[in-house]
Amino acid sequence: MYRLFIITSAVLLLFAVSCVEAPQAVEVSCSEMTFAVTGDAETKGLVTGTALVDAATGNRPLVISSYLTPQSGTPGNYFVGETFTKAADGYWHHDPALYWPMEGRLDILTYSVSTPFQEADVTWGPASAASSVRLVVDESRTQDDVLYGSAWRDGFGATTSLSMKHSQAWIDVRVKKASGVTKVVKVISVVLKDTYIGGDLTIENNYGVPRAEWNFRRFTARDVVVDDLSGVYGAALNTTERSVGMLVPVQEQKAIVVTYTVDGVQKTAERALPHTSWLAGQQYVYSFVFNPS
């Protein structure tokens, strides 16, 4: 006999990115277009804290497109798919420098990933590059937060704020042995049943309040082994909690299957998950405590 306990919780993830005022002119001093990350609170997941930093790769870049509607003249893309990186002053810069236009409305759309997308996997809006972008998020990005944001500004001298949002849910499965258990317990695998780990992600500017939508028509749901970056699988458990985890697109939850051994005898436990969707920007913690008799 054995007892298996499962606990679920969700933690909201938030980011904020502020834009430093940067007017452009001919006769006056120009200020460079830069961005700064200013998170209001600690977050949980792969990208944490108040800075746009990935633990594995360091400071993340911002990839930005903008569309200018001038007070006079023809509107059009100001720039498309340009990369801003963090400099020693703590701000994200473009090389060479880009500058804010003095007049008119500037719409901005951005995303951030640790590993750059291939050019063929990024499609900006055809009429306005700042209106939307479609990203092909393949199955290799289970450890790469895909963040996005949008904003707009009118006229000279305005300060622009840009809030970054998460597009995936963080699945965090934690395992340990109950206190007093002397038998050897090992987790062989943790599987998410019938789950998409890749998809087409479309991000819309939505007048500075961005929204994202996943589409899986070109992808296949399957039983997926949760990433193990810490050597949990096959190692004997103790009373210290250890975890495996990965990012998944927004989709309906199905079930978790844990395969484990007790003194070398293999067992399997399947637990159905709530019939709701995993939501973007939330961390789902599933805790399994093994207490075989």
Residues 42-68 pLDDT 10s: 444 467 655 677 777 788 899 999 999
> Which pLDDT belongs to residue 205?
96
Q: Tell me what pLDDT residue 59 has.
A: 83
How confident is the model at residue 265, as a pLDDT? 97
Q: Are 99 and 232 part of one and the same domain?
A: no
Domain count, the chain: 2
pLDDT of residue 161 exceeding 80, the answer is: no
Positive or negative torsion for Cα 226, 232, 237, 241:
negative
Taken in order 117, 86, 208, 164, the sign of the CA dihedral is positive
Whether residue 187 sits in one domain with residue 46: no
Here the CATH number for the domain that contains residue 256 is 2.60.40.2630
Percentage of the chain lying above the pLDDT 90 cut:
62
pLDDT of the residue at 156? 55
Q: 79-83, 86-90, 169-173 — which is least confidently predicted? A: 86-90
Question: Which among 241, 279, 258 is positioned nearest to 10, based on CA atoms?
Answer: 279
Q: Hey, which of 13-27, 47-61, 207-221 has the most confident mean pLDDT?
A: 207-221
Identity of the amino acid at 149: G
Considering the domain architecture, whether residues 153 and 95 belong to the same structural domain is answered as: yes
- Note down the domain range covering 255: 4-9+168-197+219-290
Q: Is the pLDDT of residue 95 over 80?
A: yes
Q: What is the pLDDT confidence band of residue 10, given thresholds at 50, 70 and 90?
A: very low
pLDDT in tens, 28-41: 345 666 555 443 34
